[in-house]
Structure 1
């Protein structure tokens, strides 16, 4: 049998052609799959124990019409990996999917559906405005019940993975880093090659670049986006995900506190977003001079970086800090 693969072709040695992103939509889609077939997703059992009873049934069933247990789900659910798209903005984006793209993606869902599900999907195609609003409302409802309570823990794992991968590019080059993403992914003569089950395709990324997106919920394998208008994208399992990833972050504070001290541990955990010294002091309930001292120690050890933004100095975790927090979580 011929081997099937997608080749994302890049210009030789072009570091700028690859960027990383985070996709709330991708996490939610795979959360739906995990909730629908928990026996296939053991790494999500800890999360499901505390979440499953809170998921709104009707909204969940809307999403299961689009997201099957395996294989294709609509590209429009996952096609905007970025760094700062809020769940509310993601839901609004779903309300505004253009007619052509909605029809193309939903037709793919239709031909893969059977019975009552196929009838429901056809009804969505017949009434696209109502369907888009229903999908957006279901997306946000299930997000708020299932993902929002653990988004801080989940996002830290994603950012820690990206920090480690970025460092590997600097140390080993793109090919060296790509080889560590997944056993179905390899560097092949200037292309990121992903082994597939069904089809082969060559995607020229030299004009658009390639987005690499780690996933905590999607730990069973890799997914790709190859069709415009989506930017070529490869989703891969984040490293360091265990069944306890969704535990209360208080445990992480205690673990880091034993190493750094409680105040510095709290500052480091909160440093996933840039903050001023005054904001750090307020959030940590210490004096500004004390916060400044703690930030100096964290900066000197390479865990936090400080940069000037006009009159302000902003502090944020470095890749080393991301890796440390991700390992503890």
Structure 2
């Protein structure tokens, strides 16, 4: 059991984030132990033939099959964190903590794996470059083709959790993250297999990170990182990689082609001109479609400086989740 103790200041600092690095690390583990991840079998069938063997073997060594996951593979989760930004942070990662992380993996291995990890820990600067190159190669082959579906599932989960906070409160939302997570008056408790710890969040708050590729919960408690809880996202099923193929046509049949294109383009807040550019529509046409979608409560709008920014409402998120 890991107990994350929360002060009043921590409650106000609970937030959500995304972690492409976490998705990649657990994609590696899915490939290593597919029998434990039936919801990923659709992804496995489409991905396994094109997995780059050298990059995968290096990442498998660093990531491990279960348990401890080296912290340097994932930077601080954030709502706007992109895969490219995650990779760039890895390329700039401090080699000191990296050496410590690799040392922890050394203690958890034997034989040739342990010798290989010792060699990597002895030259962390070279290891950082090798791991980052492998990260990029593996990402492009295994996750980039599916990232739009993964990203939508993650954001749809966060939208659903945010609605629950608004209607039932933070405690009710946290208590439904996963069967391994419980909420107390002063702490979030996470049932784990190999780790016991009591951590005082000490006003730093708690980051909640949904995951498509991970089947269970994990916690990050090592300072200076902000305490983080990773949990399985809602809506993940064995066919998640193909569920969205017919979505544009289905939305177009219901809403019309133009409005369907506008909805699918709003993966992040966009101005009217940005929506027009992203969909190939005239600005006046995009503006008309946005107005209709606002009346239908599928899109919301707010003014930022001299621009009106459009975002999907929770209903819009639900309609466009692949």
Structure 1 range deviating more: 280-289 or 29-38: 280-289
Query: Does the C-alpha gap of structure 1 residues 203 and 323 become closer, same or farther in structure 2, counting only changes over 3 Å?
Result: farther
Distance 2:8 2:51 in 1: 46
Equivalent runs, 1:193-208 vs 2, <5 Å: 193-208=189-204
Corresponding position of 1:214: 210
The two structures have a TM-score, normalised by structure 2, of 0.94
Query: Does the C-alpha gap of structure 1 residues 13 and 90 become closer, same or farther in structure 2, counting only changes over 3 Å?
Result: closer
Query: Does the C-alpha gap of structure 1 residues 111 and 13 become closer, same or farther in structure 2, counting only changes over 3 Å?
Result: closer
Contact 1:163/1:320 (<8 A) preserved: no
Equivalent runs, 1:24-173 vs 2, <5 Å: 24-173=20-169
Deviations 1:165-195 (A, max 9, x none): 0111111111110111000001012211101
Structure 2 unaligned residues grouped into runs of 5+: none
Distance 2:11 2:267 in 1: 24
The question of 1:291 aligning with 2:286 is answered yes
Contact 1:17/1:206 (<8 A) preserved: no
Query: How many residues matched?
Result: 322
Once superposed, what is the RMSD of the aligned Cα atoms?
1.7
Contact 2:16/2:207 (<8 A) preserved: yes
Contact 2:209/2:230 (<8 A) preserved: yes
The question of 1:319 aligning with 2:314 is answered yes
Deviation at 1:13, TM superposition (A): 8.4
The two structures have a TM-score, normalised by structure 1, of 0.93
Distance 1:258 1:161 in 2: 26
Helix, strand or coil at the partner of 2:224 = coil
Deviation at 1:12, TM superposition (A): 4.2
Distance 1:176 1:324 in 2: 25
